[in-house]
């Protein structure tokens, strides 16, 4: 059986996904067969796999780091939040129902067995499996139902390394506290720590790291410096921050910028669709919730949503619906956003609200069905080959507008809508569309770059994180740890905390 290690985090968005991807790429470079694994993910950013299922986007990115196609094996359980209390449960790529935080406990036994068996199967096939935890293992109120953090580590008997984001502050306390609140059997599997997003002189941090090692008896395997180029394929909702640019805007080739406002819906889904736009020099993409920003932008993107009717109501409450209907400039609506722009939504599935009026910007009627459309797609748009994927319950049941391309989507004036995700990652198509938007918006000084490749940017980012780990983390020791037959460390003293 191949080796395995679990990358846990002190918090959500601590860097688990990127560290996991970097280790996948670093081990692949050493000639190993590597696979990623996340037993349970909670995310509305997902992709469709070749085997016809749905998994978290981070696991697709990690599969790429391993030189593999995405597979439901790499993320057998996915929770897609539709509200603060309920999520859609996706098992081995297929939606099987809705669960709440309370009744999810009823599923823990069979899901634990399923995920443990999937990990064991991967370890039979690969030299090493890099597992990613979910949230934080210090959420001890959820320990009884945990299948992704210490629950998985205990079931598979694998060591754990804990990543902390020093950019948030208090990382040493986070690391010590994460270890301290665990029970002794869980503590024994914690092998050490990785500090992420460090800025400055490491020598100033070193005394704290030395004391952390003395207090815990665990190694600090390295300190990863902050890098602003590792922003693609963000999975956590914390990555879509209002009023901040997406990625790192590159200077324009011409003498004008193109300003893109992406509406930050409460239940945003597949937010990564706009990242391809942000790869273009001279295109400044920001997440917005202010109607004035919608009015001022050259292009407005209404992204996907896991709760279409609810997010449509939010658009109206915030005045964003009025701002959209008042626009004369370009609008791009994707999946749930596309559905919102129609005349009518019939939804007895996701929201249960029946017939709901849309914004009426497109002559379109949508009806939700219990079974989800999950498929990879390809076709031709404006004479250019394009690929994408679809993930949605809503179907177009009537359309009075011309299609955007082939038999897909809608086009009316400056408004474009589609159910396809990933469309803008098609380089030639994106260049043509961005050029069209710039002309429509009157940005005559904007010039699209002739050679931007989203896939090359992704590959460069994966190599960059692997390089950072090789330079700043004891990657060889982590590999040896993953290949250890049975790792155990002494529990730390809990007595002072308990008293």
> Looking at the domain assignment, is residue 499 inside a domain?
no
Query: Does one domain contain both 474 and 383?
Result: no
Per-residue model confidence (pLDDT) at position 235: 60
pLDDT band at 107 (very low <50, low <70, confident <90, very high): confident
- pLDDT, tens digit, 9 for 90 and up, residues 457-489: 999 999 999 999 999 999 999 999 999 978 999
Same domain, 401 and 444: yes
Mean of the per-residue pLDDT values of the chain: 93
Verify that 165 and 32 share a domain, yes or no.
yes
Q: Which residues pair with 100 in a beta bridge?
A: 86
Active site includes 335?
yes
On the question of pLDDT at 495 being above 70, the answer is: no
The pTM for the full model equals 0.91
> Comparing C-alpha atoms, which of 492, 469, 414, 391 is closest to residue 28?
469
In a domain, 246, yes or no: no
Q: Which one from 174, 393, 419, 421 is the annotated catalytic residue?
A: 421
Q: Does residue 175 share a domain with residue 275?
A: no
pLDDT score of 240 more than 70: no
Let me know if residue 270 belongs to a domain: yes
For residue 453, tell me if it sits in a domain. Answer: no
Whether the CB-CB separation of 423 and 429 falls below 8 Å is answered with yes
Please report whether residue 498 resides in a domain. Answer: no
- Residue 70: exposure state from Cβ atoms within 10 A (0-12, 13-18, ≥19): buried
| Average confidence (pLDDT) over 177-205 | 95
Any domain includes 497: no
**Structure confidence at residue 494 as a pLDDT band (50, 70, 90):** low
Average pLDDT over residues 263-281: 92
The partner residues of 263 in beta bridges, in order of sequence, read: 288
pLDDT at 104 over 90: no
Averaged pLDDT, 23-43: 96
Mean per-residue pLDDT, 240-245: 74
Please indicate, yes or no, whether residues 155 and 52 belong to a single structural domain of this protein: yes
Q: If pLDDT is split at 50, 70 and 90, which confidence band does 179 have?
A: very high
Q: Give me the pLDDT at residue 239, please.
A: 56
State how many domains the chain has: 2
Question: Which structural domain range is residue 79 located in?
Answer: 3-231+458-492
pLDDT at 499: 42
CATH of the domain at 260: 3.40.50.880
299 and 407 belong to one structural domain: yes
Q: Are residues 331 and 467 in the same domain?
A: no
pLDDT higher than 80, residue 102: no
Instruction: Mark whether 421 is an active-site residue.
Output: yes
Burial 12-44 (b: 16+ CB within 10 A, else e): ebbbbbbbbbbbbbbbbeeebebbbbbbbbbbb
Statement to judge: residues 262 and 376 lie in one domain: yes
Q: pLDDT digits over 291-328, tens only? A: 999 999 999 999 999 999 999 999 999 999 999 999 99
Q: Greatest CA span in the chain, whole angstroms?
A: 72
By the 10 Å C-beta count (0-12 exposed, 13-18 middle, 19+ buried), 135 is classed as: buried
Distance between CA 358 and CA 107 in Å, rounded? 36
In a domain, residue 483? The reply is yes
Active-site pick, 66, 335, 392, 393: 335
């Amino acid at each position: 059986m191949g080796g395995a290690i679990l990358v846990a985090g002190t918090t959500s968005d601590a860097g688990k996904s990127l560290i996991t991807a970097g280790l996948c790429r670093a081990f692949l470079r050493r000639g190993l067969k590597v696979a990623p694994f996340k037993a349970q993910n909670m995310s509305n950013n997902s992709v469709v796999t070749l085997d016809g299922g749905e998994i978290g986007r981070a696991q697709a990115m990690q599969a790429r780091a391993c030189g593999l196609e995405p597979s439901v094996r790499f993320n057998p359980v996915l929770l897609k939040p539709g509200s603060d209390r309920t999520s859609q449960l996706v098992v081995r790529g297929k939606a099987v129902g809705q669960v709440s935080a309370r009744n999810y406990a009823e599923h823990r036994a069979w899901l634990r067995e399923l995920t443990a068996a999937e990990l064991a199967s991967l370890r039979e096939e690969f030299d090493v499996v890099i597992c990613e935890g979910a949230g934080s293992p210090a959420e001890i109120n959820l320990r009884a139902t945990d299948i992704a953090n210490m629950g998985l580590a205990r079931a598979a008997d694998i060591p754990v390394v804990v990543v902390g984001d020093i950019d948030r502050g208090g990382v040493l306390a986070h690391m010590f506290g994460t270890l301290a609140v665990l029970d002794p059997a869980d503590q024994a599997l914690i092998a050490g720590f990785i500090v992420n997003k460090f800025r400055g002189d490491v020598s100033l941090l070193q005394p704290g790291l030395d004391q952390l090692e003395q207090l815990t008896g665990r190694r600090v395997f390295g300190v990863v410096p902050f890098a602003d180029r590792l922003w693609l394929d963000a999975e956590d909702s914390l990555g879509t921050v209002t009023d901040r640019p997406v990625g790192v805007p590159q200077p324009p080739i011409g003498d004008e910028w193109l300003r893109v406002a992406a509406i930050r819906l409460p239940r945003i889904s597949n937010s990564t669709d706009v990242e391809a736009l942000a790869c273009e020099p001279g295109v400044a993409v920001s997440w917005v919730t202010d109607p004035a920003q919608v009015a001022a932008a050259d292009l407005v993107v209404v992204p996907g949503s896991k709760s279409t009717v609810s997010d449509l109501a939010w658009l109206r409450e915030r005045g964003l619906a009025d701002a959209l209907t008042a626009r004369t400039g370009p609008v791009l609506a994707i999946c749930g956003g596309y559905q919102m722009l129609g005349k009518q939504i019939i939804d007895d599935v996701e929201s249960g609200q029946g017939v709901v009026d849309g914004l009426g910007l497109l002559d379109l009627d949508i009806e939700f069905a219990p079974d989800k459309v999950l498929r990879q797609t390809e076709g031709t748009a404006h004479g250019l080959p394009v690929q994408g994927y679809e993930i949605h319950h809503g179907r177009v049941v009537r359309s009075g507008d011309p299609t955007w391309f082939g038999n897909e989507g809608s086009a009316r004036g400056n408004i474009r809508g589609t159910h396809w995700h990933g469309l803008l990652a098609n380089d030639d198509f994106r260049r043509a569309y961005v050029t069209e938007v710039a002309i429509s918006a009157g940005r005559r000084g904007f010039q699209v770059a002739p050679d931007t490749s989203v896939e090359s940017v992704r590959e460069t980012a994966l190599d960059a994180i692997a390089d950072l780990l090789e330079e700043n983390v004891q990657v060889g020791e982590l590999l040896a740890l993953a290949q250890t037959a049975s790792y155990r460390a002494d529990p730390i003293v809990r007595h002072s905390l308990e008293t």
